[in-house]
């Protein structure tokens, strides 16, 4: 089904994630690896994007012009895969198999934990963005205060010099 006015990409994206999770599970079984994180088509960004485009074309879908098979969508696919094939992942995790992280910056969640109150996965790093925003605002505030003080002191000095020069000119 192609994207039309009745079925937007917002509605198609979860279907695409499920289709991609099924395809990765099929590849995982064929390769004989314990998790999809070990499948080359999952951890190689270029191959993941190629597989995503292939799955889209097989399903006669097309993505929104701004859509990218990037890190965020890869996390969505991994979560969808865990939801669909969770039993297989749990059995391999209990064997002590090493799992490659999704990203060197942000490892996958442990069972029963959530990153924030909104665990839908829409925002990658709300807490980091909030702390960076607070830090940036603090720096900007300090710079504004220092600039104001410098201008105030400079203005006072200039006024004193001007007043002395004015008195010298008017008295002669």
Q: Which of 38, 39, 12 is nearest to 23 (CA)?
A: 39
Please identify every stretch of the chain with a pLDDT value under 70, giving residue numbers as ranges: 1-7, 87-131, 172
pLDDT score of 130: 66
Give the Cα separation of 56 and 52 in Å (integer).
6
Write the DSSP assignment of 16-44 as a string of letters.
HHHHHHHHHHHHHHHHT-SSGGGSHHHHS
For the chain, which residues make up each domain, given as ranges? 9-120, 128-172
pLDDT score of 88: 52
% of residues, the chain, pLDDT over 70: 69
pLDDT score of 106: 54
pLDDT score of 108: 57
pLDDT score of 7: 58
Query: Do residues 24 and 76 make contact, with C-beta atoms less than 8 angstroms apart?
Result: no
């Amino acid at each position: 089904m192609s994207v039309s006015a009745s079925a937007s990409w917002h509605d198609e994206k979860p279907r695409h994630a499920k289709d991609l999770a099924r395809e990765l599970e099929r590849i995982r079984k064929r390769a004989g690896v314990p998790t999809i994180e070990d499948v080359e088509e999952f951890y190689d960004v270029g191959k993941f994007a190629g597989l995503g485009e292939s799955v889209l074309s097989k399903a006669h879908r097309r993505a929104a012009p701004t859509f990218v098979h990037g890190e965020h969508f890869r996390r969505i696919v991994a979560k969808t895969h865990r939801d669909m094939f969770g039993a297989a992942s749990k059995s391999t995790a209990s064997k002590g198999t090493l799992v490659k992280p999704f990203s060197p910056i942000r490892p996958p969640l442990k069972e029963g934990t959530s990153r924030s109150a909104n665990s839908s996965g829409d925002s990658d790093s709300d807490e980091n963005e909030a702390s960076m925003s607070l830090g940036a605002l603090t720096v900007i505030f300090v710079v504004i205060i220092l600039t104001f003080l410098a201008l105030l002191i400079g203005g006072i000095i200039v006024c004193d010099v001007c007043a002395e020069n004015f008195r010298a000119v008017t008295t002669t």
